Amino acid sequence: MKSVMQLELIEKNIIIIRGHRVLLSPQLARMYGVQVKVLVQAVKRNIERFPDDFMFQLTDGEYSNLKSQTVTSSWGGARRANPYAFTEQGVSMLSSVLNSSQAIQVNIVIMRAFVKLRELLNSHRELARKLEELENKYDSQFKSVFDAIRALMNTSVGKSPRIKTIRGFKPEK
C-alpha cells in the first residue's frame, strides 16, 4: 500500500519543462531523505554522468513561472540557485551517485512512475488512432458522437468538462 501511495505522489510531482517530463531537485531530495544541497553536491561531483538531456537547471523565467503556478509554497523558502530538473535518465543516474538503500528503493518507485506515465500516454495515442479509424470508417451521421468523445479525451483532470449542446437536442425547461 505504501508503494502505491509513493507512486501516486511521484506521479503528481512529474512536470513537463522544455518538452521533457522531469522531477525537480527539491522534490527528489525530499523523496531521497537528503538536503537539496547534498543532492546537488553529489551531482556536481559526478557531473560527467549528467549530460543536458539527463539534467538541466531552470532559468529564472522558468522558475518564477513554476512558482506562480504552485498554490502552496513547497519550495523551502529563498534559494541561492534555481532548482535542477532531472529527466527519467537523470533520475536513474542519481541512484548511482546517491548510494543508499533509501535512494535505491525510491528510485525503483520513480522508474515505475515514469513507465506508468509512458504507458498511459501510449494508450491515449492508441485510443486516438482507433477513434480516427472509426471516424473514417463511418459517415458523418456519427460526427457529433466522435466530436464528443474527442472532447472528453482532451478534458484535463480537475477541470469540469463544458457541456455542449448537440444538434437536435434541446434541454428540458
Q: Which fold has domain 2-122?
A: Mlu1-box Binding Protein; DNA-binding Domain (3.10.260)
Q: Residue 25 has what pLDDT?
A: 92
Enumerate the domain spans of the chain.
Answer: 2-122
Render pLDDT for 33-87 as a digit per residue (tens, 0 to 9). 889 999 999 999 999 999 999 999 999 999 888 887 765 445 555 567 899 999 9
Highest-pLDDT range among 84-88, 102-106, 130-134, 149-153: 84-88
Say which amino acid occupies 115: V
Give the pLDDT of residue 50. Answer: 94
Q: What is the pLDDT of residues 159-173, one digit of tens each?
A: 544 545 445 555 555
Alpha carbon 167 to its chain centroid, in Å, reads 37
Question: Cβ distance 111 to 92 under 8 Å?
Answer: yes
Cα angle 103, 7, 109 (rounded to 5 degrees) comes to: 35
Considering the entire predicted model, what is its pTM?
A: 0.59
What pLDDT is recorded for position 118? 76
What would the DSSP string read from start to end of 59-122?
PHHHHHHHHHH-SS--S-S--SSPPEEE-HHHHHHHHHHS-SHHHHHHHHHHHHHHHHHHHHHH
CB neighbours (10 Å) of residue 107? Answer: 20
What Rg, from alpha-carbon coordinates, does the chain have? 21
Quote the pLDDT of residue 68: 76
**What does DSSP assign to residue 44?**
H
Please give the pLDDT value at position 161.
47
State residue 170's pLDDT score. Answer: 53
